[in-house]
């Protein structure tokens, strides 16, 4: 018997007439959608769509199948809603991500799902991907990291917005009164986050380093960086939104170096094998309500 999920995917592709839009609606990758449609066609031993540059249009066999299954799929989805509207969600949030970015999205979710619970887990980049792969958490809200940390075939990223990596010093720093060039920065010890972070990657790219020539950049965690800024006159590269409160309170200052580091993407990581209604709705709410 053919998996009913294939029929559901078929119906959404038929409704959207576009693989990209169907992929967004299903929260799975476009290649995965294509693979599922091909699997259904193979099991039915017939083609279902006319594929063209204009999209995915049902052929005669596809139209016949659509008429047979559309009401049944709608009935099944309605039945699922009766028993699957209070599923709890385990949300992983990167430990440094300011909660003001995502608090509004969580409040909006609770307006629709008053009996559901979002369990928030504060995680480092290393363990959040491990837990996501093992499906111990359902979804992760974080900056985008190098795909060296996870399996990109199984874990996908949805961009929501951008953060800003900047040079930060303490308020008494001698560097505040200087106009530092890139050459100057190559001769100053700079502290930044771990090697897979956007702050580190952006820094070495802008200073023209490769792995063999980096000599003045040290990698420390966020907490250690803040402690060092209290007791030493150091230059750091950190995400501005992480220290916005300290900047507003004049505890730290952004150093003007005459150029901007590239923005860092942030958004949601999800496991393609983890798919339920509350999770899909939460993705949409995060996309609409996470504001800087």
pLDDT > 60? residue 194: yes
More confident residue, 284 or 292: 284
Query: For domain 4-83, which architecture applies?
Result: Orthogonal Bundle (1.10)
- Residues 64-83 have a mean pLDDT of 80
Per-residue model confidence (pLDDT) at position 142: 94
Mean pLDDT of 271-280: 82
Is residue 278 within 8 A of residue 89, CB to CB? The reply is yes
Task: Name residues whose C-beta falls within 8 Å of residue 42's C-beta, 6 or more positions apart in sequence.
Answer: none
Could you give the CA distance from residue 279 to residue 178 in angstroms, rounded to a whole number?
49
Q: Convert the pLDDT of each residue in 147-158 to its tens digit.
A: 888 888 889 999
Q: How confident is the model at residue 173 (pLDDT cuts 50, 70, 90)?
A: very high
Tens-digit pLDDT profile for residues 207-256: 888 767 777 899 998 899 999 999 999 999 999 999 999 999 999 999 98
Query: What topology does CATH give the domain 89-161+265-289?
Result: D-Maltodextrin-Binding Protein; domain 2 (3.40.190)
Decide whether 4-83 matches 163-263 in CATH topology: no
**pTM exceeds 0.75:** no
* Mean pLDDT of all residues belonging to the chain: 88
CA distance 135 to 129: 10
Boundaries of every domain in the chain:
4-83, 89-161+265-289, 163-263
Q: Looking at the structure, give the CATH architecture of the domain made up of residues 163-263.
A: 3-Layer(aba) Sandwich (3.40)
Positive/negative CA dihedral, 234, 240, 245, 248: positive
Q: pLDDT tens-digit profile of 92-130?
A: 999 889 988 999 999 999 998 887 889 999 998 888 999
Q: Is 150 helix (H, G, I), strand (E, B) or coil?
A: coil
pLDDT confidence tier of residue 55, bands split at 50, 70 and 90: confident
Tell whether the model's pLDDT for residue 87 goes beyond 80.
no
At residue 105, φ and ψ (nearest 5 deg) are: -65, -40
What pLDDT, on a 0 to 100 scale, did the predictor assign at position 84? Answer: 54
CA dihedral of residues 202, 206, 210, 212 (deg, nearest 10): -100
Give mean pLDDT, residues 164-176. 94
C-alpha dist (Å) from residue 107 to 111, 190, 277, 286? 7, 39, 17, 10
pLDDT band at 82; cut points 50, 70, 90: low
Q: What is the mean pLDDT of residues 160-181?
A: 92
């Amino acid at each position: 018997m053919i998996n009913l999920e294939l029929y559901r995917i078929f119906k959404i592709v038929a409704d959207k007439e576009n693989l990209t839009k169907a992929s967004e609606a299903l929260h799975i990758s476009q290649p995965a959608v294509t693979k599922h449609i091909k699997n259904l066609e193979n099991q039915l031993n017939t083609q279902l769509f006319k594929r063209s540059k204009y999209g995915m249009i049902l052929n005669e066999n596809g139209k016949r199948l659509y008429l047979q299954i559309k009401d049944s799929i709608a009935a099944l989805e309605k039945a699922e809603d009766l028993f699957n509207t209070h599923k709890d969600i385990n949300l992983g949030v990167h430990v440094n991500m300011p909660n003001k970015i995502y608090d509004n999205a969580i409040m909006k979710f609770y307006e629709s799902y008053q009996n559901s619970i979002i369990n928030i887990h504060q995680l480092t980049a290393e363990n959040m991907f491990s837990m996501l792969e093992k499906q111990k958490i359902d979804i992760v809200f974080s900056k985008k990291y190098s795909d060296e940390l996870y399996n990109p075939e199984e874990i996908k990223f949805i961009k929501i917005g951008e953060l800003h990596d900047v040079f930060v010093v303490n308020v008494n720093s001698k560097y505040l009164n200087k106009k530092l060039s890139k050459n100057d920065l190559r001769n100053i010890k700079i502290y930044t986050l771990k090697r897979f972070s956007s702050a580190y990657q952006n820094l070495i790219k802008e200073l023209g380093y490769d792995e063999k020539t980096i000599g003045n950049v040290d990698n420390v965690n966020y907490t250690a960086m803040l402690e060092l800024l209290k007791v030493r006159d150091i230059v750091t590269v950190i995400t501005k939104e992480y220290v916005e409160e300290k900047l507003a309170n004049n505890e730290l200052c952004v150093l003007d170096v005459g150029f901007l580091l590239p923005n860092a993407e942030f958004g949601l990581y999800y496991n393609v094998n983890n798919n339920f209604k509350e999770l899909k709705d939460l993705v949409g709410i995060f996309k609409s309500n996470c504001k800087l």
